[in-house]
Each structure stands twice: as structure tokens, then as C-alpha cells.
Amino acid sequence: MKKLIAITLVMLLAFTTVFANGSSESQATADSGKTYTIKLGHTMSTAHPRHVSLLEFEKYVEEKSGGKVQVELFPAGVLGSEPDMQESMRMGTLEAFVGGPFDTISKKLNLFLMPFFFDNQDALMRVAKNEEVFNIISSDAEANGLKILAIGDGGARQITNSKRRITKPADMKGLKLRTPSIEAIMVCMETLGASTVSIPLADCYMSLKTGVADGQENPVATIYDQKLFEVQKYITYVNYQYHPEVLTMNAKYYNSLPAEYQQILSDAAWLFIETENKIAIENAESRLEEMKAYGCDVYTPTDAEKQAFVDACTPVYDHFVNTLKYFTQEELDLVKSLAMGK
């Protein structure tokens, strides 16, 4: 029923937009008096850094376009799950979206998802802002009917559970972990010895509380925002993946916009990324301290312990290059080199 309501709402919004703005294939010029409405959905709450930063995106677009481009934000999954919204965007009933799953945007985005590739946010942004890498990923996305406006830091991911402190890969064995439907996460967790169950984020809290899953993995901001720490005793602060934060649009809609508005959207997208990156860094430590105060056992592996996780995840790279063939070894080496500052 929730999914039916969400789909109905998206269709209603699309119906309204068509009558208000005319066909999305219009090639109107920026000074024609025509107005545009961009509906943008995501699953995080209004307190999450993603939404707070999208408010800056909205403000910039509307001010720079003189009100000719209006942005309507739909947070907290009111338009459905991430896969639902992504499909709505692909169909053209939703103009823009932030989130995953990444495989269906561009399989090349998995270059960001390789375990232990990034030491920090700066390393990730060296890759995200590299023209060659961005073009490789953008071209692949456009073949899927999608336009990537910007890529940023979606958060370093940590592992939580209700059973025991995790200090080595062997501690993962026997744990059932909730994961999103993202291949790189599932493969990584299973390579470390856990079993995985794919559950939407909206249902994650209850699945952990009732024991459907023993644990999960997410950035600190999401663990805090979704209150997952209330039902997870142990947090392993291991930074095993840095996910990209991808702001995506329906390519057909984007290409129908006047060039002036396309540039405004591009500039606003990178402003969104810069804002969220900054907030994420500022909030991470204080959020961890709050979770510690709540009673969570927050453990940071030593360098030697972390290396054991790195070594255990080595087969993941080969899986994506040689089995799935999502990207080439040369593309993987390029990203690794940029991440290391070479």
C-alpha cells in the first residue's frame, strides 16, 4: 500500500508538471518566460546533511534563475524507496534524485565502492573531480538515460551489530547483516564472512530491533539519523567504503533545458556537494560521541587490525574486474592512483 501511494503521488506530480510546463522536450530559451519545476526525491530525514545541503541547492537554483526554475524537495522517502524513485526518474515522472543503488545509474560508479580505496574525503574528491573519471562514469549513465550533475562524499561506511565487538574478519562469521541492494556492499560483507539480507532503509530499524538482522553497515550520519544505534550495541569504526553522493537527473529533461539553466544546475549541484562534505566532516565526531554516551561500544581497529580487513577484501576487486566486468583493470588502477595522490 505504501508503494502504491508513493507511485500515485509521483504520477500526480508528473501530471501537474506537464500541464503547468508543457512537454519536457521543449527547447525554449531562457528568456522566453517559460518556467520549470524540478521535483527531487531522497530517503533521508530533513535533519540529515543531505537534505540540509539540498536546501542550498534549491536556494541557488531559484535565485540564479530568477525564479524561472523551481525546485521541490521530497525527503524521507515520501515518494517511495530509492529503487522506486530511481525508476520514476528514469521514466521521467521524477526529474531528480540523490542516492543509490548505483549499479542502475552506472556500473562504473562501483569504482568508488571498492573496499579501503579511500583514506579520507580528500582522496575521494580527487577522484570525483577528475575529468577523465567523471567522463567515464557520466557517459555510462547517459547511456542509461540519466545525467549525473555532481559526485561527492556519501559517507565512510561503518559496521554495526548487536552480538559482539568486531576487531578482525573472523568476528564477522555467523553475523546476518542488513545491506541495501548494492552489489559491492553485499560482496564485501560476504567476502568477510557475514551473510546478507537486503532490506529497505525504512525497514532497517525494525529489522534490527526484532532480530531479522544482527547488524548493518552505513555512514555515521545515517546510523545517527535513522537511530540505528538504539538497537545496535557495537559499532566498528573501520571506514571500509566511502560511497559517492550522486545527484542525478533524467537526461531527457536535463537536455530539454536552456543551456543557461543547465549551467545553473551544474553549479548548484557542486555547491550541494561542497556543503554536504563540510557538514559531514563537522558532524561525524560529535555524532559518534553521542552514540557512545547512549551506551554503544565504538571500536576503531588498529592499523594492523585494519590491514587484516584490507587483505581479506582483495578478492572483491577481481570479482568486479574479471567476473562482473563492470570496469577494466586500467580504470581501477586510475582511481587507485588518484586516491593515493599520484
pLDDT value, residue 25 = 45
With beta carbons less than 8 A apart as the criterion, state whether 281 and 77 touch.
no
With beta carbons less than 8 A apart as the criterion, state whether 97 and 248 touch.
yes
H-helix or E-strand containing 72? strand 69-74
What is d(CA 127, CA 111) in angstroms, rounded to the nearest whole number? Answer: 10
What is d(CA 225, CA 79) in angstroms, rounded to the nearest whole number? Answer: 19
pLDDT value, residue 8 = 53
201's grid cell: 532503509
Closest by Cα among 66, 14, 57, 15 to 250: 14
DSSP string covering 226-274, please?
TTGGGG--EEEEEEEEEEEEEEEEEHHHHHHS-HHHHHHHHHHHHHHHH
Q: How many CA atoms lie within 13 A of 5 on its CB side?
A: 4
With beta carbons less than 8 A apart as the criterion, state whether 198 and 180 touch.
yes
With beta carbons less than 8 A apart as the criterion, state whether 283 and 75 touch.
no
pLDDT value, residue 270 = 98
pLDDT tens, the chain, 342 aa long: 555 555 555 455 554 444 344 444 445 567 667 999 999 999 999 999 999 999 999 999 999 999 999 999 999 999 999 999 999 999 999 999 999 889 999 999 999 999 999 999 999 999 999 999 999 999 999 999 999 999 999 999 999 999 999 999 999 999 999 999 899 999 999 999 999 999 999 899 999 999 999 999 999 999 999 999 999 999 999 999 999 999 999 999 999 999 999 999 999 999 999 999 999 999 989 999 999 999 999 999 999 999 999 999 999 999 999 999 999 999 999 999 999 998
pLDDT value, residue 187 = 96
Residues listed for the chain = 342
Strands 215-219 and 146-161: antiparallel
- Residues with Cβ within 8 Å of 302's Cβ and at least 6 positions away in sequence, in order, are none
Three-class DSSP category at 196 = strand
Q: How many CA atoms lie within 13 A of 249 on its CB side?
A: 20
pLDDT value, residue 19 = 39
CA distances 101 to 97, 159, 180, 282, Å, are: 11, 19, 8, 26
Closest by Cα among 117, 130, 170 to 308: 170
CA distances 191 to 12, 61, 158, 184, 330, Å, are: 43, 43, 16, 10, 23
